[in-house]
Amino acid sequence: MLNACPTTINFDVYQPRNPKASAYYRCVEDHFEQLEAVWDERYQRRFGFWRPYVMDVIQRYMDCGDLHFGFARVKCEDCGHEYLLAYSCKRRHFCPSCHQKRVVEFGEWLCEEVLKHVPHRQWVFSIPKRIRIYFLFDRKLLTKLSRCAWKVLNLYLTQAVPYDDAKAGAAVAVQSFGDFQNFHPHLHILVTDGCLYNDAAFMVCPPPDTSELEKLFRYEVFKMLKAEGKITDCKIENMMNWHHSGFSVYCGKAIWPQNEDGLANLARYIIRASFSQERMKYVAAQDSSDGIAKVIYESKDGKTSKTFEALDWLAQLITHIPNKGEQMIRYYGFYSNKSRGLRKKAGTDDEVPALIDSALSRKAFRKNWACLIQKIYHVDPLLCPKCLGSMRIIAFIEDQQIVKKILQHLDLWHVKRKPPARANDPPTQAIIIFDDSSASDADAYLIDADRTSLRLSTGYPIETYL
């Protein structure tokens, strides 16, 4: 499989990141306990009840890539070179490293397994400020919002292709955030620019009139909110009279199937993270003139920035953490799970991939992860940095006593300020954490072949423990 990877990369020695040095990490570490403590009083009215799952996400992020919580040993089959691989938290949106991996994984999977070789377009559907709060307090409505948009798009696309079996396909991604992490639910949709019909044919649609679609979308959303008991006829009537409806429908340029990069970029864009570490600055309480910690966040175009109290910024940020198992992407029409399943059964489609959160997609990901990580970080985790031989995972070390012994032996054991929260939890998946920085202490995480043959202080070779 590795041979299938691009080979133009300069295979350097690994540079595991030092996540705890980042401004973001320090901001989280300084405030997460206080955030929970003051939530009810300070944020509940604005952002809804405290979600205990959020604390799980935060704590796992803080342990992500930390060797103290266990690791895998990876060894070169040719020269015996070995290093330790820390576990990752795999939590969406909150952990920048894990989210970024998911973004690449998703882009690859969507383009290869779901989207057909036909033209596509990106659509963006958004809703007025006044009704956003319903979606914050009741996240299930986000699914219904996806369906409203699909209904409208599907109507337009199937109307334009006059065959009974015409079918459009869409991947609808919910994004809950605006430029400054404010709660701003909207939909990014990658949809076929026409319909498939008669088994193998595809007909392109005429250019759309977005204002027509906007009216339909508004109608569907009001209907849905009314059925859910959120708004009354009176309020709908009032909002219908607004000069600017606040609803908007944007339609991007058509992307032709030959433009594979364009499509892959778009696929990645629709599940991008709610914030960018590069755009944030953290001023800790002790460095702040008024003694209150701050986050200064720059807009996407770099032209403006906003200063938040760090606690307020974090409170806002966690509203974008999806609930456990909550799907942020849905597939409709020709791309629905059901359609893909039927085609698979009939042998008319390639292997059917599961949703991004399911076990199967993780399996599919593992198959490709070396290749994918190479694309992001320009290194190949399963390629030996010394001899370019192939490496494999030879053991998972989870027992806290053994973890401690090995790390102490390698002088990598550092007493943490906070005790390990969940030492007995099973690890999720072993993965290497990299970044592009060339941290001078990066090599500290590497074990070279000579050192592994050393004996622990008890006199046993390291293998005795494993």
Distances (CA, A) of 302 to 87, 179, 222, 242: 34, 11, 36, 32
Q: In whole angstroms, how large is the CA radius of gyration of the chain?
A: 25
Separation CA 156–CA 162 (nearest Å): 11
Query: Nearer Cβ to Zn ion, position 95 or 157?
Result: 95
C-beta of residue 121 within 8 angstroms of C-beta of residue 270: no
Q: What's the CA gap between 206 and 351, in Å, rounded? A: 32
* Of the candidate residues 76, 216, 231, 267, the single one contacting Zn ion (CB under 5 A): 76
Q: Is 283 helix (H, G, I), strand (E, B) or coil?
A: strand
Q: How far is CA 82 from CA 13, 197, 224, 358, in A?
A: 12, 54, 57, 31
Does the protein bind Zn ion through residue 88 (CB under 5 A)?
yes
Q: Please count the residues of this chain forming the interface with Zn ion, following the rule CB under 5 A.
A: 13
In this complex, which beta carbon is closest to Zn ion, that of residue 88 or of residue 126? Answer: 88
State the nearest-atom distance from the C-beta of 79 to Zn ion, in Å: 3
Distance of CA 392 to the CA centre of its chain: 26
Q: Does 79 bind Zn ion (CB under 5 A)?
A: yes
> How many Å apart are CA 466 and CA 463, to the nearest integer?
5
Torsions phi, psi for 308 (to 5 deg): -120, 155
Q: Is 27 in the site for Zn ion (CB under 5 A)?
A: no
The least distance separating Zn ion from the CB of residue 385, rounded to whole angstroms, comes to 8
CB of 60 or CB of 188, closer to Zn ion: 60
Which position among 12, 40, 78, 212 is part of the footprint of Zn ion (CB under 5 A)? 78
Q: Of 89, 166, 189, 315, which lies in the binding site for Zn ion, with binding defined by CB under 5 A?
A: 89
Token pair 């559907």 in the structure block, residue: 125
Binding residues for Zn ion restricted to 371-390, rule: CB under 5 A: 384, 386-387, 389
Q: Choose, by CB under 5 A, the member of 81, 268, 340, 405 that binds Zn ion.
A: 81
The count of C-alpha atoms lying within 13 angstroms of the C-alpha of 75, restricted to the half-sphere facing its C-beta, is 13
| Among 68-76, 144-152, 226-234, 319-327, the segment contacting Zn ion (CB under 5 A) | 68-76
DSSP conformation letters of 387-448 = T--BEEEEEEE--HHHHHHHHHHTT-----SS--S-TTSPP-EE---B-SS--TTGGGG---
Q: Does 22 bind Zn ion (CB under 5 A)?
A: no
Of 326, 323, 325, 320, nearest to 274 (Cα)? 320
Kindly state whether residue 74 participates in binding Zn ion, applying the rule CB under 5 A.
no
Tell me which residue of 329, 328, 353 sits closest to 339, measured CA to CA: 353
Candidates 92-100, 111-119, 184-192, 235-243; binding stretch for Zn ion (CB under 5 A)? 92-100
Q: Per-residue x/- mask for Zn ion, residues 385 to 414, rule CB under 5 A?
A: -xx-x-------------------------
Residue 238, amino acid: N
Interaction of residue 64 with Zn ion, rule CB under 5 A: yes
Nearer to Zn ion, 32 or 247 (CB): 32
Query: CA-to-CA distance for 152 and 137, rounded, in angstroms?
Result: 25
Name the segment binding Zn ion (CB under 5 A); options: 84-92, 233-241, 275-283, 284-292: 84-92
Q: How far is the CB of 90 from Zn ion (least distance, A)?
A: 6
**Per rule CB under 5 A, is residue 446 in the interface with Zn ion?**
no
Among 74, 84, 98, 225, binds Zn ion (CB under 5 A): 98
> Which 166-195 positions form the footprint of Zn ion (CB under 5 A)?
none
Token pair listed for 392: 């494999």
Determine the interface stretch with Zn ion among 58-66, 107-115, 183-191, 333-341 (rule: CB under 5 A). 58-66
Point out which residues bind Zn ion (CB under 5 A).
64, 76, 78-79, 81, 88-89, 95, 98, 384, 386-387, 389
